[in-house]
Every structure is written in structure tokens, then in C-alpha cells.
């Protein structure tokens, strides 16, 4: 391996590890809070069912596993960052390595995180149909690949306009407008997520029943509302997994003892949509922190190396200038 490339890779590895560690800590102490709330919704769907099989991995193991995955992911991305900076070193205008690292990292964040994340926002565990995982993963990876091409095309156009003498507002409107148009076409043409986000409901054998002491007026009003709104919480006594056909009920008092399914949104002290929203923002924030820390660390290590090399060269030249040449005899 070329000595300079090896130097870039080693510093990229170190920078990626630091960025991955920052993302891992953010995941553990911030994002995990929303994951815990999402798990509460899942647990609430089991009310009325016999205890299920224990989780394959404990929450503690999941915490450490997630942090380890973030650390490994950051390290690998740090290596990729270093290779890209080294390969495009003379094509990226910058005063120092710090600026180059930031430019490449910003472009990578937009292509690998922001664009795919806006089309397919991340969701916490327990959210989404497991049967669509393969489809969603394929769509996300393909979108990520096309996003990289879009960012490269936007960068090439911006550089071409600069070489042609375009500057200021003209370059911004033409270059930025072309990038925005490509994104609009990409978002419209790409398929929507196959997974609608709906709050989980308790479809298990309900734990509650309509009390024999319930007021007939209240039960009658409930029955009328359920018929008008299509509420399926009143269940069939013979098969509590199925909603009761309300058209067969002629006397509301006959509903005494009928099982009632609980809506999990009433059992968990958190708004479901708020949990999803916060998780998505925090997931993007964690990746943004990783790329920012990685770029800053790589730029710092690279600039310190360049500074040390410059000082060494300067000392060598000064020493050479003060050395008295030996006369020939």
C-alpha cells in the first residue's frame, strides 16, 4: 500500500472509531429512551395472553450490542472517508485537510443518511411488519446508491459551473436548482414505504369485560358509538380474537360479561406519534454527530501530521543552511 494512502487509512480508522463511539454513547443514553417507549407499546399488546417466550437477548445485551455495532460501523466509515479524501485530495479545493474532511463528510451524510432517511425515515424496534423487512431493506439500499450518484452529479455540476466562471447567485440558482430537481424526481419516482405506521392494538384475548353492574344507559351509548365509528374493541365471547358483530346485538344489556380489547395507546403513558417522531429525529442526530466527530477528528489528526512534517522540513532546511561545507583537499 502506498505510504500516503496507508497514513490516510490509519487516521481514518482512528477518526471512525471516535465518531462511532460518540454515536454509540448517543444511542445508549438518548435514542434508547424512545426504543424503550416503543417496547412498552409492544408489551401492552400482550395483555390478556399467557406469558410468551422470553426475548432471545436481554435489554442489557441489546444495549451493548447496539453500541458495539455503532462503533464498528463508524470505524468502517472512517476508513471509507480516508480513502475518498486521499483519492480526491487534489480535486477538492481546501486550505487544509480539515476542510477536505468536512466537505467529504457533509456530502456523505447527505447521500447516505439524509436523503434516504427523508424518504424512508428510521423507526424504532417493534414498528413495522417483519414480513416487509427484505423489501424495505432493498428499497433503502438502492435509494442510498442513487443518492450517492445524485450528490456526485450535483458536485460535478457545481465544479463545472465554477470552471466556466459562474459565481454568486447565478451559480447557486443553477447548481442548487438542478440538485433540487433531481431530488424531487427521485422522491416522486421511488416507491413509498410498504409499511404504514399504525399504533399497535391489543388483539389478544382481552383482559377486561363489560361489568354486570354497568349502567344500561352507558352501555347503550357505547354500543351506538361503536356502531357509528366502527370500533372493534367489543369482542366476540366465543372468539375474543375477533370483534363482535354489533349488528346482531338487539339489547345493550346483553353485552354484560362481553370481553373488551384494550387499545395500547391508552395503556402507555406516551403518545405513539411522539415516540416515532422523537426516535426519527434522534436517529438522524446520532448519525450527524458521528459524521461530525469523525470529520473533525480526521481533520485534526491530518493537520497535526502536516504541521509536524512542515516543521521537520523547516528544521532540516535551517540545519542545512547553517552547515559549513567541507573544503576539498
Mean pLDDT of 70-99: 90
Residue, of 295 and 318, whose pLDDT is higher: 295
Identify the CA nearest to 126 among candidates 40, 63, 241: 40
Share of the chain above pLDDT 90, in %: 45
Per residue in 143-178, pLDDT (tens digit) is 999 999 999 999 999 999 999 999 899 999 999 999
Q: Measure CA 160 to chain center.
A: 33
Q: Mind listing the pLDDT tens digit for each residue in 179-233? A: 999 999 999 999 988 877 776 665 555 667 888 888 889 999 989 998 998 888 8
Write down the pLDDT at residue 329: 46
Phi first, then psi: give them for residue 260, nearest 5 degrees.
-130, 130
Q: Is the pLDDT of residue 49 over 70?
A: no
Query: What's the gap between Cα 133 and its chain centre?
Result: 15
Residue 307's pLDDT is 63
Helix (H) / strand (E) containing 284: helix 272-322
Contacts of 71 (CB under 8 A, 6+ apart): 17, 20, 21, 23, 24
CA distance 304 to 94: 16
* pLDDT of res. 272: 82
Q: Minimum mean pLDDT among 80-84, 108-112, 306-310: which range?
A: 306-310
Contacts of 177 (CB under 8 A, 6+ apart): none
Residue 116 has what pLDDT?
A: 94
Top mean-pLDDT range of 100-104, 132-136, 262-266, 324-328 = 100-104
Query: How confident is the model at residue 198, as a pLDDT?
Result: 73
Give buried/exposed letters for 286-324 (b at 16+ CB in 10 A, else e): bbbbbbbbbbbbbbbbbbeeeeeeeeeeeeeeeeeeeee
Give the residue-averaged pLDDT of 69-97. 90
> Rounded distance, CA 107 to CA 105, Å?
5
Chain-centroid distance, C-alpha 318: 53
State the pLDDT confidence band at 13, using cuts at 50, 70 and 90. Answer: very high
**Every domain of the chain and the residues it spans:** 1-127+265-329, 128-196, 208-261
What's the Cα-to-Cα distance from 81 to each of 2, 68, 146, 218, 228, rounded to whole Å? Answer: 17, 20, 19, 65, 58
Amino acid at each position: 500500500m502506498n505510504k500516503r494512502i496507508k497514513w490516510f487509512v490509519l487516521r481514518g480508522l482512528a477518526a471512525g472509531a471516535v465518531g462511532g463511539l460518540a454515536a454509540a454513547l448517543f444511542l445508549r443514553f438518548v435514542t434508547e429512551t424512545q426504543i424503550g417507549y416503543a417496547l412498552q407499546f409492544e408489551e401492552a399488546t400482550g395483555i390478556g395472553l399467557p406469558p410468551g417466550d422470553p426475548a432471545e437477548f436481554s435489554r442489557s445485551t441489546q444495549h451493548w450490542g447496539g453500541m458495539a455495532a455503532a462503533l464498528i460501523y463508524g470505524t468502517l466509515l472512517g476508513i471509507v472517508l480516508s480513502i475518498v479524501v486521499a483519492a480526491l485530495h487534489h480535486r477538492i479545493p481546501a486550505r487544509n485537510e480539515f476542510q477536505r474532511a468536512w466537505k467529504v463528510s457533509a456530502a456523505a451524510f447527505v447521500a447516505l443518511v439524509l436523503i434516504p432517511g427523508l424518504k424512508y425515515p428510521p423507526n424504532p424496534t417493534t414498528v413495522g411488519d417483519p414480513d416487509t423487512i427484505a423489501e424495505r431493506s432493498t428499497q433503502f439500499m438502492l435509494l442510498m446508491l442513487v443518492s450517492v450518484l445524485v450528490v456526485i452529479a450535483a458536485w460535478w455540476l457545481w465544479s463545472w459551473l465554477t470552471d466556466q466562471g459562474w459565481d454568486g447567485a447565478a451559480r447557486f440558482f443553477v447548481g442548487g436548482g438542478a440538485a433540487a430537481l433531481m431530488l424531487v424526481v427521485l422522491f416522486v419516482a421511488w416507491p413509498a414505504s410498504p409499511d404504514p405506521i399504525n399504533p399497535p392494538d391489543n388483539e389478544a384475548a382481552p383482559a377486561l369485560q363489560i361489568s354486570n353492574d354497568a349502567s344500561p344507559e352507558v352501555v347503550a351509548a357505547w354500543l351506538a358509538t361503536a356502531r357509528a365509528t366502527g370500533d372493534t374493541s367489543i369482542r366476540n365471547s366465543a372468539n375474543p380474537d375477533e370483534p363482535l358483530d354489533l349488528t346482531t346485538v338487539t339489547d345493550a344489556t346483553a353485552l354484560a360479561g362481553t370481553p373488551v380489547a384494550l387499545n395500547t395507546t391508552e395503556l402507555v403513558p406516551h403518545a405513539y406519534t411522539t415516540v416515532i417522531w422523537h426516535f426519527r429525529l434522534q436517529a438522524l442526530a446520532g448519525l450527524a454527530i458521528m459524521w461530525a466527530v469523525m470529520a473533525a477528528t480526521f481533520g485534526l489528526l491530518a493537520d497535526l501530521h502536516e504541521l509536524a512534517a512542515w516543521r521537520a522540513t523547516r528544521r532540516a532546511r535551517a540545519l542545512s543552511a547553517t552547515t559549513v561545507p567541507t573544503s576539498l583537499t
